Amino acid sequence: MSKITFLGAGSTVFAKNVLGDSMLTPALQGFEIALFDIDLERLKDSENMLNNLKQTLGSSCHIKAYTDRKEALRGAKYVANAIQVGGYDPCTITDFEIPKKYGLRQTIADTVGIGGIFRNLRTIPVMLDFAQDMQEVCPDALFLNYTNPMAVLTNVMNTYGGIKTVGLCHSVQVCVPHLFNHLEIDTQGVQYKIAGINHMAWLLEVTKDGEDLYPEIKRRAALKQLEKHHDMVRYEMMLKFGYYITESSEHNAEYHPYFIKRNYPEFIEKFNIPLDEYPRRCIDQIEGWRKIREEIVNNAHLTHTRTHEYASYIMEAIETDVPFRIGGNVMNTGLITNLPREAVVEVPCLVDRNGVTPTYVGDLPPQCAALNRTNINTQLLTIEAAITGRKEHIYHAAMLDPHTSAELSMDDIIAMCDDLIEAHGDWLPKYR
């Protein structure tokens, strides 16, 4: 029996999407779906939910929950990862509240920035433990990583874990539909090309019947900027740098030095930036789960419609050898020629029986590559800190972060990092 293992299966709603999709995929019938989570109550919830869904969908997949991670992984052909180390309380709270004491504000804090750095530092050791288990019990499995910070964790699994890994994000699939819907442009017949790094990939080309649609996109975007809306940061970046970015404005507000600024507090209002957005979402999700838990977990009539998540389509393409195209996060083996080879990039990839094959992009527009490199600098120094155990590289990563360095002095950045290391305590390894 072939096997799909889901790590972080207590993320019940997300598990429903990825594994519900799998149960609707003919090529994956008969697979074992192995569930693992350190939260045994949430693990049981997901097991119950998926067994109900299996009956409703008439799937022949076999659902099994494990309390032993290595046994959950043993013999897996595919491993999906959706863990969050430290959760909302205490770690996300810490990532937001300590920087606030230094006057550093954030919106999401899960990619780069000071929050992204520390989320990486507490997640990388766990991911390397996964890799060690996989080397023993499923060395040829394909690791489908959904956990943020996407670029760094995908890099670590490939470079230091020795595990075939592709990082999967929602932002590529929804980029053009989201943009065109907001600008009231029909997407029928539109062709496009996206490449860059995760959460800062670029809509490089967008055409219809051979016509470049960017002039009309920018004309409409400039008009939209005359009044408040939800995507003002990305439109501003497009109008100034020439290209639209895949990930949302609340994310991109903290990836650049231009928007969240103590000396220009009016920018928060001007660009409609939702400070502390991620903690609010966490609170809403916790409260929302309490309300919908019974309906999701113990609903014998629960059903599902296949989503746009890539995981089931990747597995289907490999099983059937019917090609499928994704936007995947992979090592930059010369794919984007003006970004560092040791970085992870987000590029179009072809999936078939040979696995995930990235496509060559070449040079990005120079201004886009330059902006990507400002975030790659922090990513690579974060990896250096995690692998060497040297505290100085945590400082380097933070001092190179565009938003952090625009707001704080080097001494304050170092003091803030020390405070975060102390506050995270045993959630982090010891640094020297």
Can you say which residues are annotated as belonging to the binding site for Mn(2+)? 169, 199
Known active-site residue 170: yes
Contacts of 351 (CB under 8 A, 6+ apart): 313, 314, 317, 318, 323, 324, 325, 326, 357
For residue 396, give both structure tokens: 């380097």
Q: Beta strands of 17-104 (E only): which ranges?
A: 32-36, 62-66, 78-81
- Residue 328's DSSP bridge partners are 347
* Token duo for residue 325: 């195209």
Check if the beta carbon of residue 113 is closer than 8 Å to that of residue 200: no
Q: Which residue out of 62, 170, 178, 182 is catalytically annotated?
A: 170
Q: Give the whole-angstrom CA distance, residue 130 versus residue 9.
A: 14
Cα 401 from Cα 34, distance rounded (Å): 38
Please enumerate, by residue number, every residue annotated as part of a binding site.
Answer: 148, 169, 199
Per DSSP, the three-state class of 350 is: strand
Angle at 108 between CA 391 and CA 200, to 5 degrees: 85
Known binding residues for substrate: 148
User: How many CB atoms neighbour CB 413 within 10 A?
Assistant: 25
Instruction: Give the active site residues.
Output: 170
